[in-house]
Amino acid sequence: MAENFKPRTAEELREAVAWAVAEEQPLEIRGHGSKAALGRPTQAGHMVDLGDLSGVTLYEPDELVLTARAGTPLAEIETLLAEHNQELAFEPMDYGLLLGERAGRGTLGGLYATNLAGPRRIKAGAARDHVLGVQAVSGRGEVFKSGGRVVKNVTGYDLSKAIAGSWGTLAVASEVTFKVLPKAETQATIALTGLDDARAVDALAAGMGSSAEVSAAAHVPADTAGRFGVDMPGGGHAVTLLRLEGIRPSVDYRAEALSALLAPFGSVERVDAAPSAVIWRAIRDVTAFAGSSDPVWKLSVTPSEAPAVLGRIRSSVDCHAYYDWAGGLIWLMVPDGGEAHADVVRGAVGAHGHATLIRAPAAVRAAVAVFQPQEAALALLGKRLKQQFDPQGILNPGRMVAGCEDCGTDSGVMSQRAEAHLEPRVSFYSRESFEMSMQSEGGANSYLEPGGNNVTLVYILYLAAFVVGLTALIGLVFAYLNRGKGPAWTQSHYTYQIRTFWIGLLYSLICVALAVIGIGFILMIAVAVWMIIRCIKGLQAASRREAIADPQTWLI
């Protein structure tokens, strides 16, 4: 019998996942279901519905920090932020209309799981770039935390960014903390009309390379411009758009400068704040392709190659498309049938980027690789990561990769692990605060790993520094107490021991400062050998009651 879990707390979420682990039953993870038609169909008989795990738990406008539970509606968060003239700067898109759903149904957890970002990504980055921390449940049924609630966050491994965009296949987030930013006072869009795709991408590159601080850049060909349902500049012709945001005097100044810069490309028009916001919301939410069932692709490509990529597709398929992210993103709608023309699309993209199938019938999404197929080495890394977080493959099995439910079995990643020279290992273990701890094997940053050979070497070198430094100090004290009480050779030893003592002190400081850097070991060993030879020379001279020939030298 299918189970439908609706946790209201992080502990209830942990119990649901722990049940699935104990029963070896896969789980589909869902918020409000606004993105259920994204990705491959999940192969699970039970569901965890996070819709009731909702509410903002922390919002400090002055500190630019917001924490909310995974099921919190994104519309509720945006309303709260707007009251304080703030926003999520990465401009998350709303897939509702594109997927035939009602707009405004997305949740914070779904945003985090899919790493959504809109037109402002070229300036502000993606969702993961604004995540400060997360509390989540791994596929082992263990609660862990990563990051915190401060903007300058240097706590441990940045797992909160690694999990972002994993589509619920690594862990189930129960609470996420985001950095928020003040909303711009106003905006304006500079529009150029009638450019072909290649010329338009050149114009976008010129704008992005200027000092105008462009926050969004898009090009809409003529056959797509009329599909948005908004008052788009250009009168039905192709239109190239660059958005500026900030305080009004700055926007006015930059708009004038950008218009002058782009004048050689063609006719320039300025679109003011209100209509500009409407246009960019339509571009963000891909409303041009809403109300249709035809497959939609999202192509991430090199901007300079984008017109050629789309040209190759158009030579084989009658399609509609437009460019975002200054040409780095192509939204493409192709006719229904032929498995969404995957061979044509991916063949055209080639080595210049990635193609993700956003909208298609479930049967097509089950038959076609929804996400860009990875090279063997990269796919193996992904399987290893999955193995550490979700060894039994119970979280959203098959959502991203066909057959991923075998990631935790002998026929899956285990057979690959036996061939690997380096096997990363993540250990989760519960404490009172359910904090997460990590250890890595063979990594470049594992010099201080507990119980490792490198940390033993560090302790040995620390001991050597102490012994050598203490010996130098004793020699200095002895020479100091006997200065002027014996023959002249004792004075040279006193000077010699002062120099040796400073070397011992320097050696100890080097041990502390460079112990965690690989080259520090080589340097410390070299200094230790120098100290030993120097002490031996002093002892030999003292036993023969001979003066040091040049006690002031640093040399041996």
Q: Evaluate if residue 296 carries a pLDDT over 70.
A: yes
Mean pLDDT value across residues 395-424: 49
Q: 243, 265, 284: which is the final residue of a domain?
A: 284
Q: 244, 263, 284: which is the final residue of a domain?
A: 284
Mean pLDDT value across residues 438-464: 45
Q: Is residue 388 part of a domain?
A: no
Question: Cβ(310)–Cβ(363) under 8 Å?
Answer: no
**Strands 46-49 and 27-30, sheet pairing:** parallel
Task: Check which CATH number belongs to the domain holding 267 and give it.
Answer: 3.30.70.2190
199 and 317 fall within a common domain: no
343 and 492 fall within a common domain: no
165 and 225 fall within a common domain: no
164 and 39 fall within a common domain: yes
Q: Within a 10 A sphere around the Cβ of 151, how many other Cβ atoms?
A: 11
- pLDDT grade for 422, boundaries at 50, 70 and 90: very low
Q: Within a 10 A sphere around the Cβ of 62, how many other Cβ atoms?
A: 6
Mean pLDDT value across residues 536-541: 72
Q: Is residue 435 part of a domain?
A: no
- pLDDT grade for 98, boundaries at 50, 70 and 90: very high
Q: Total structural domains in the chain?
A: 4
Q: Is residue 427 part of a domain?
A: no
Q: Evaluate if residue 443 carries a pLDDT over 90.
A: no
474 vs 67 pLDDT, higher one: 67
Alpha carbon distance 466, 508 (integer Å):
7
E strand or H helix that includes residue 68 = strand 65-69
247 and 116 fall within a common domain: no
3-state secondary structure 413-446: HHHHHCCCCCCCCCCCCCCCCCCCCCCCCCCCCC
Alpha carbon distance 240, 206 (integer Å):
12
Mean pLDDT value across residues 385-411: 74
Q: Is residue 408 part of a domain?
A: no
Q: 183, 204, 219: which is the final residue of a domain?
A: 183
- Give the structural domain span for 517: 453-543
- State residue 30's pLDDT score: 92
What are the pLDDT digits (tens) for 254-282? Answer: 999 999 999 999 999 999 999 999 999 99
Q: Is residue 332 part of a domain?
A: yes
Q: Is residue 436 part of a domain?
A: no
Triad 328, 330, 333: Cα angle to 5°: 175
Alpha carbon distance 159, 162 (integer Å):
5
92 and 219 fall within a common domain: no
130 and 245 fall within a common domain: no
Alpha carbon distance 184, 123 (integer Å):
13
161 and 259 fall within a common domain: no
Task: Check which CATH number belongs to the domain holding 136 and give it.
Answer: 3.30.465.10
CB neighbours of 327 closer than 8 A, spacing ≥ 6? 200, 201, 204, 205, 217, 219, 301, 303, 304, 306, 307
Lowest mean pLDDT among 210-219, 222-231, 409-418, 472-481: 409-418
461 and 334 fall within a common domain: no
Mean pLDDT value across residues 517-521: 58
Q: Evaluate if residue 529 carries a pLDDT over 90.
A: no
Look over the chain and give the mean of its residue pLDDT values, rounded to a whole number: 83
- pLDDT grade for 159, boundaries at 50, 70 and 90: confident
Alpha carbon distance 195, 291 (integer Å):
28
Q: Is residue 396 part of a domain?
A: no
Alpha carbon distance 9, 103 (integer Å):
27
- pLDDT grade for 532, boundaries at 50, 70 and 90: confident
521 and 471 fall within a common domain: yes
Task: Tell the residue number behind the tokens 């199938």, with chain if given.
Answer: 357
Q: Is residue 376 part of a domain?
A: no
316 and 247 fall within a common domain: no
- State residue 502's pLDDT score: 73
Q: Which pTM value belongs to this model?
A: 0.72
179 and 192 fall within a common domain: no
- pLDDT grade for 338, boundaries at 50, 70 and 90: confident
